[in-house]
């Protein structure tokens, strides 16, 4: 783990304000690696590859254009979003290795809750019985990465039915609480920090 790495637990944060804060941090002359843990109020976000047609009915939930990779997804309270602001040039992590690292980290985290998960070729994220439990969307700019991974813990999953999640019609989603009712988001966050410390 880098001596310069900081973990920050930020609680419930507005999506646009968080995105602006990430960009500000990346542009800082005093940049150092940070991993942020947040939840967002209900919001749909569009990645750079997103097609608006995949929002079937927003039902009043804000829609924000993001600059991460990927398609449309939903964020809401009870979903743990982990943002990685890492100097990938210095750490020699290429995009493919970084995505695989985040997938393997999530698989390990779910294993702690006795949940077996899998990956699907060409569809970044983590799945349980072909239902998506975690989404990955990253951007690399000037040798630094931002955005990250969202893990469904204990949330209202209904808004996922208002979209084609990640651009896939009929893709089902699932959360940790459905598979282990002892899970709560603070415990998942603590476990995530424990597992990420040796990686970065």
**Active site members:** 166
Angstrom distance (rounded) from CA 39 to CA 75 = 8
Q: Is 165 exposed, middle or buried (0-12, 13-18, 19+ CB in 10 A)?
A: buried
Annotate 41-75 with b (16+ C-beta within 10 A) or e (fewer).
ebbbbbbeebeeebbeeeeebeeeebebbbbbbbb
Cβ 104 vs Cβ 169: under 8 Å: no
Q: Which residues pair with 32 in a beta bridge?
A: none
Token representation of residue 39: 């939840």
């Amino acid at each position: 783990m880098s001596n310069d790495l900081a973990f920050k637990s930020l609680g419930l944060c507005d999506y646009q304000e968080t995105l602006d804060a990430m960009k500000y941090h990346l542009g800082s002359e005093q940049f150092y690696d940070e991993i942020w843990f947040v939840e967002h109020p209900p919001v749909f976000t569009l990645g750079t590859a997103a097609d608006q047609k995949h929002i079937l009915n927003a039902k009043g939930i804000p829609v924000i254009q993001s600059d991460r990779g990927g398609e449309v997804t939903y964020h809401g309270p009870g979903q743990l979003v982990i943002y990685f602001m890492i100097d990938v040039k210095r750490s020699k992590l290429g995009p493919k290795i970084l995505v695989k690292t985040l997938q393997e980290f999530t698989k390990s985290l779910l294993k702690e809750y006795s949940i077996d998960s899998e990956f699907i070729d060409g569809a970044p994220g983590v799945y349980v019985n072909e239902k998506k439990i975690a989404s990955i969307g990253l951007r690399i700019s000037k040798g630094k990465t931002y955005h990250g991974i969202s893990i469904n813990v204990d949330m209202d999953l209904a808004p996922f039915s208002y979209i084609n999640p990640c651009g896939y019609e009929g893709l089902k989603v699932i959360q940790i609480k459905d598979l282990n009712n002892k899970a709560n988001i603070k415990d998942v966050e603590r476990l995530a920090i424990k597992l990420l410390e040796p990686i970065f």
